[in-house]
Amino acid sequence: MLRIAIQAKGRLNEESIELLAEAGVSAEESKRKLLTRCNDFPMEVLYLRDDDIPQAVSMGVADIGIVGLNEVEEKEFDVEIAHKLGFGKCRLSLAVPKTEEYVDVNYFNGKRIATSYPVILSRFFKEKGITAEIHEIAGSVEIAPSVGMADAIFDIVSSGSTLVTNGLKEVEKVLFSEAVMIANKSLSDEKKKILDQLLFRIEAVERSRGMKYVLLNLPHEKIDEAIRILPGMKSPTILPLAQEGWSSIHVVINERELWDKIEQLKAIGAEDILVLSLEKMIL
Ligand code: PRT
Ligand code: ZN
């Protein structure tokens, strides 16, 4: 049995549950329960505040967890990053009032900076040789400059609209973050095996993202040309059709190239083109 900690509510909750569901693991929160057992996989889900997940995993209260890299870096608990998950993307940035003239990071010497991420910020300032006053505040960091509590802020930015609304501009991007799967460093062999199984499923889900399964019919003599048009993955599957002289081609195409490839295939005589979404790709 493997215990995973995920965010109880907030930005990462839904996508964490969704990812597990796509991997065939039901993590549906039953009302007001802190811990639930999955029916279909040897795992139980512990719902926590994101701030507590790195510690829970490092102490072994949970074996693995899904949390923002920003929290992992800030809390400095000794955990392993088992996999990057590609959602919850954001960055930790320094921002100053938009009217300020900003040349480089030396701007921050002697300034007061409000943040909920003092550890990451002091690490950055130390690296850059900056001496500044770091004020740790828990929330609403972005209003600190306008109420006179700070000269600048260091906070999470995603679209950047919160900064704009508060009359601030982003001047240094310090850390790029996304949701990551963290793991306790001394998992038993049995737990490691379950984790590998889970990661195998997650990778299959990730591989299929943005991929389409395409079926089309083509005269035999055009098959070589079709293979040249199709992207550099393994050869497409080619099946003879009942209709004399025709074949059916099955291939996986990245969504970005889909229309381009389809137009080229049509131009050489492809017909009856079907595009299906792909759920999982297991290699
Ligand atoms: O209750 P709990 O402690 O669990 O949750 P929380 O309130 O501390 O965290 P939550 O749910 O807000 O965020 C969880 C994680 O999501 C963060 O640790 C990040 O890894 C990630 N994430 C991704 C974000 C954002 N994007 C984000 N935009 N976390 C916060 N924000 C905030 C940001 O601080 C800004 O004030 O959203 C605001 C809007 O951002 P803009 O730039 O799009 O305007
Ligand atoms: Zn939090």
pLDDT tens for the chain, 283 residues: list them. Answer: 999 999 999 999 999 999 999 999 987 766 667 899 998 899 999 999 999 999 999 999 999 999 999 999 999 999 999 999 999 999 999 999 999 999 999 999 999 999 999 999 999 999 999 999 999 999 899 999 999 999 999 999 999 999 999 999 999 999 999 999 999 999 999 999 999 999 999 999 998 888 899 999 999 999 999 988 886 556 688 899 988 999 999 999 988 889 999 999 999 999 999 999 988 888 7
**Contact predicate 208/279, CB 8 Å:** yes
Contact 2, 42 (CB under 8 A): yes
* Structure tokens that stand for 87 in this block: 């959602």
Proportion of the chain in helix, strand, coil states, percent, rounded to 5: 35, 30, 35
List the domain boundaries for the chain: 2-87+178-207, 90-177, 210-277
Separation of alpha carbons 155 and 141, rounded Å: 7
Q: Report pLDDT for 186.
A: 97
79-to-4, 71, 177 alpha-carbon distances in Å: 14, 12, 16
Domain 90-177 has CATH 3.30.465.10: no
Count CB-CB contacts under 10 A for residue 148. Answer: 8
Say yes or no: CB of residue 151 within 6 Å of ligand 1. no
Neighbouring C-beta atoms of residue 205, cutoff 10 Å:
18
Ligand 1 centroid to residue 276 C-alpha, Å: 34
CA atoms of 84 and 272, how far apart (whole Å): 39
pTM: 0.88
Decide whether any atom of ligand 1 lies within 6 Å of the 194 Cβ: no
Q: What CATH architecture does domain 210-277 belong to? A: 2-Layer Sandwich (3.30)
CB 182 within 8 A of CB 53: yes
Residue 168: exposed, middle, or buried by beta-carbon count in 10 A (0-12, 13-18, 19+)?
buried
SS3 for 142? helix
Regarding the beta carbon of 30 and ligand 1, being less than 6 Å apart is answered no
- Whether the domain at 2-87+178-207 and the domain at 210-277 fall into the same CATH topology: no
pLDDT of residue 264: 94
State if residue 155 touches ligand 1 by the CB under 6 angstroms criterion. Answer: yes
CATH of domain 2-87+178-207: 3.40.190.10
Distance 49 CA to ligand 2 centre (A): 6
Q: State the distance from the centre of ligand 2 to the C-alpha of 212, rounded, in angstroms.
A: 37
Ligand 1 pocket check for 16: Cβ under 6 Å: no
